[in-house]
Structure 1
C-alpha cells in the first residue's frame, strides 16, 4: 500500500508540475481519477481519488465500496441537498479530488476482507453512468470475470457512452 501511494504521489507531482506547467496553456490542469486494489489471501485494500469506483458482489448483493470525490457526493454527504437536487447542480460532476489536479494528493483507503466467491469490479464513471445497477449486478453474477467484462462493455457501448469506459473484474 505504501509503494502504491508513493507511486501515485509521484504521478501527482509530475502531472501538477512537469506536464501542466509546461503545457501551452499555463492555467491548464491535467488530472485523472484512479482506483486501485491490492489483495493478499483474504484481505484487500482499495485506494482511490476521483469518481472511478470499486464495487463488491457478495452473496448476490452489490456494494459500492468507494465513495465518489465529486461536488454532487460532497453536497449529499454534507446534507446540503437531497440526491436528486444534487444531481441537477450545474457542477454536479466536478471532481473534488484527482491525481494531478491539486498540489497535494489525498487518497481514500479502505481495507476489507474478501471471501470465497466474492467478485470485485474496478471501473471508470463512463461505465457505471452508462449502465444500471441491475446490469452491474447481473454481470458480476456471471460465471467468469471475462464474461462479466464482455457483458458490461456490450451494454455500455450499446447506449450513449458519453465518456471513456474501463473495467477490471476479479473473483476470489
Structure 2
C-alpha cells in the first residue's frame, strides 16, 4: 500500500523467496518522518530475523524532531547503540563462540531538498534521476574490499570463496563504522532501498525499467514479479520513495 506524507509517497514489501525457511529481512516505511530503512539479518547466524527487526523497530521509535543534522545524528547514535546492545545480548542468547547476531542496514532520511543515506553492509540505496540509475551506497563486503585493496577485476573478486562475506554490519563484533552520503534532491528523484536478495535477481535495465513506473506500488510489483519469476534463493525486500 502506498503511503504519502508531504512531498514524498512510498511503499515497502518483503518476501521470504523460494528457498529460505524464514524471512530475516525487515523494512521501515515512515513517510511522515521522512525516514525509510531496510535491514537484512545475517543469514546462517543466530537470530538474524530478530536482529533485523530490532534495527527497524528502534529506528521507528526515534522522535523525528529537530533539525535534519540532529535527526541524522540520532540515527547514527541509535545504530551504534544497537551494535553495542546486540553484543551484550549474545552471551545469553547465543553462547557458542562462533555465533553472531547481526544485520545489515540502509537508511534514507529526507527533508526539504536534503537527503542522507546511512548504511553498513550490503543492503543498497539506489537513486533514479532523469532516466539514469545511480547506486548511492557502496557494499561493505569482502568482494568490494578485494577490488579496492588488491585492484582485482569484478570477475576475479567474485571468484573468491568468501566474496559475499560482510566487512561491516550492526552487531558484527567489530566496532560499527557507519558510512553516510549526503546529497541534494531534485524534482522527480526516486529512491530504492533493498536487500541483496532483490538486487541480485535483477539487471540494471530491469531496475531502471521498474523505477520509471509512476507509483511506488507499481514499482514494487514489477521488481518482485521479476525476481520471484527467477530462482529467488534469498529473502527479498524493497522500499520505494517517490515525489
TM-score w.r.t. the length of structure 1 is 0.96
Partner of 1:16: 87
Q: Secondary structure at the match of 1:160?
A: coil
1:132 is aligned to 2:172 = no
1:13-43 CA-to-partner distances (Å, cap 9, x unmatched) read 121221x222142430111100000011111
Q: Pairwise mapping of residues 45-56 of structure 1 onto structure 2 (< 5 A)?
A: 45-56=116-127
Q: Between 152-161 and 53-62, report the one with greater CA deviation.
A: 152-161
The answer to whether the 8 Å contact 1:12/1:103 transfers is no
State whether structure 2 residue 146 is matched by structure 1 residue 75: yes
What does residue 56 of structure 2 align with? Answer: none
Q: Does the 8 A contact of 1:16 with 1:103 survive in 2?
A: no
Hey, what does 1:151 align to over in structure 2? 222
Q: Which has the higher strand share?
A: 2
- TM-score, with normalisation over the residues of structure 2? 0.68
Task: Give secondary structure in 2 for the equivalent of 1:166.
Answer: strand
> Given the alignment of the two structures, is residue 100 of structure 1 paired with residue 171 of structure 2, yes or no?
yes
Matched residue, 2:182:
111
1:160 paired residue number: 231
RMSD: 1.0
Tell me which stretches of 4 or more aligned residues in structure 1 moved more than 4 Å. none
Distance 1:103 1:131 in 2: 31
Gaps of 5+ in 1: none
**Which of residues 31, 34, 45 in structure 1 aligns to 2:102?**
31
SS at match of 2:138: coil
Count, aligned residues: 171
- Indicate if the aligned counterparts of 1:13 and 1:103 stay in contact, CA closer than 8 A: no
Secondary structure at the counterpart of residue 236 of structure 2: coil
Distance 1:3 1:39 in 2: 14
